[in-house]
Structure 1
């Protein structure tokens, strides 16, 4: 498919990711929401996992690979599995889609933002990520985002190399084994991956894993006239939620290049 088609797919997928993902955060955390108070540790990772799966489904007709994340896009380009001509269009689409998704879901929850005006930390947290321990924990926070994103990108590369979402049928037709796709269910492995990473590392930093996912909702937090919102904490967003994931993606690409001969092509 051409660049324009893939651009549209990444934009729609990124929009879906944030419109659902940040909506999950708002539902679970903003005052007077029906979801407020659901503090089960499983809720966030499981819900975001399904949000990713839905985003993959939305983008699948456009054959983008369902990145929605500059760390994934750059990692796949470095690993040699993404054509360079798609690099910039993918990333631009991801940022635009994430921004628009945050705008749309913020409009819906306007009344709940007003009801939460006495808690600036919560108002930022429904948009962007932050470390659970900030003081004297910078190295560990940075490492958490780097390692978690390394898993994200490497697992994604491994799934792609092993034809994720497909299964070889035992029965053969004319002595040829046939691959049978799972259709929309092929998005579920991506959701399971996000769930597993979130359960493992989400307690440290809220697992950004994705510069577009964090920076664009953070920008929406910055520009919207939300009563009592406080600081948007750009320093954290740039260093821990953006630079660390990009490094993690590059490490994953390097690991993949060193072992790629072991994967089924």
Structure 2
């Protein structure tokens, strides 16, 4: 697998993942969206289908990691060369930021209406306020329902462990460096399951690029009244998934290889 394959597959695949994933969050959240208030089921299945679409596109090119935690787990398991890890992660971050930007472009009109309506409500404050998270940050990145760092970190570790151990134990292609055709479908269903079963406490980032890339885009976008990007929480959906993936990769080597 060449460096160009990794870059093209991971940038394109991760961009599609975030475009469709952030897209369903925008659809459920924003005013003047036909899917507003569709609920958690729509989000969980929307993210699952996003994984399905993105992984099918990238599987034959880069192995469809689409997630630094998956890349780390595969490197520990031995299916990915450690020398390729930085390129995978950098490509995933670029793709995640591109996908978040495209989701904003897609819903540009809805963002304007939504933010204008919030600004017109009694007591509204223009620009960043004192809240830890702005009113549309959840479209771009995750946040906890109960802000307890240890619990939030453990939730992300457990959710990512479930994802990565499922990937390591099935669906690897013949070279052992990513998802094969059947593995793409199974992994998408695993993501739906994690969303429905474990996603409630933190919004189940289970992917450092999925959270950090769009959070950076949120911080940079010219959205009046968007509020803060909650950088105090941002380390949890990065560290938690990496720890969960490392545990999954280590357990695979010790007990399942």
TM-score range, shorter chain: 0.7 to 0.9
Is the Cα–Cα contact under 8 Å of residues 156 and 241 in structure 2 kept in the other structure?
Answer: yes
Q: Does 1:244 align with 2:240?
A: yes
Given the superposition, is the C-alpha separation of residues 86 and 215 from structure 1 closer, same or farther in structure 2, using an over 3 Å criterion? same
Equivalent-residue separation in structure 1 for 2:53 and 2:199 (angstroms): 20
| 4+ runs deviating over 6 angstroms | none
Structure 2 counterpart of 1:133: 146
Q: Write the deviation string for residues 184-220 of structure 1: whole angstroms up to 9, x where unpaired.
A: 6652111101001111111000000111000111111
- TM-score normalised by structure 1 residue count: 0.85
RMSD: 1.8
Larger radius of gyration: 1
Q: Does 1:17 align with 2:27?
A: no
- TM-score normalised by structure 2 residue count: 0.87
Alpha-carbon distance, 1:60 to partner = 2.3
Runs of 5+ unmatched residues, structure 2: 120-132, 175-179
Is the Cα–Cα contact under 8 Å of residues 30 and 122 in structure 1 kept in the other structure?
Answer: no
Equivalent-residue separation in structure 2 for 1:81 and 1:61 (angstroms): 15
Structure 2 counterpart of 1:54: 53
SS of residue in 2 equivalent to 1:226 = coil
SS of residue in 2 equivalent to 1:204 = coil
Equivalent-residue separation in structure 2 for 1:85 and 1:3 (angstroms): 11
How many residue pairs get matched?
237
Given the superposition, is the C-alpha separation of residues 42 and 58 from structure 1 closer, same or farther in structure 2, using an over 3 Å criterion? same
Matches within 5 A, 1:39-78: 39=39, 41-62=40-61, 64-78=62-76
Corresponding residue to 2:249 among 240, 246, 253: 253
Corresponding residue to 2:231 among 222, 229, 234: 234
Runs of 5+ unmatched residues, structure 1: 164-182
Bigger share in strand = 1
Q: Does 1:218 align with 2:231?
A: no
Alpha-carbon distance, 1:37 to partner = 1.5
Equivalent-residue separation in structure 1 for 2:81 and 2:112 (angstroms): 45
Matches within 5 A, 1:1-265: 1-39=1-39, 41-62=40-61, 64-117=62-115, 118=118, 121-134=134-147, 137-160=148-171, 187-238=184-235, 240-261=236-257
Is the Cα–Cα contact under 8 Å of residues 145 and 241 in structure 1 kept in the other structure?
Answer: yes
Equivalent-residue separation in structure 1 for 2:199 and 2:138 (angstroms): 13
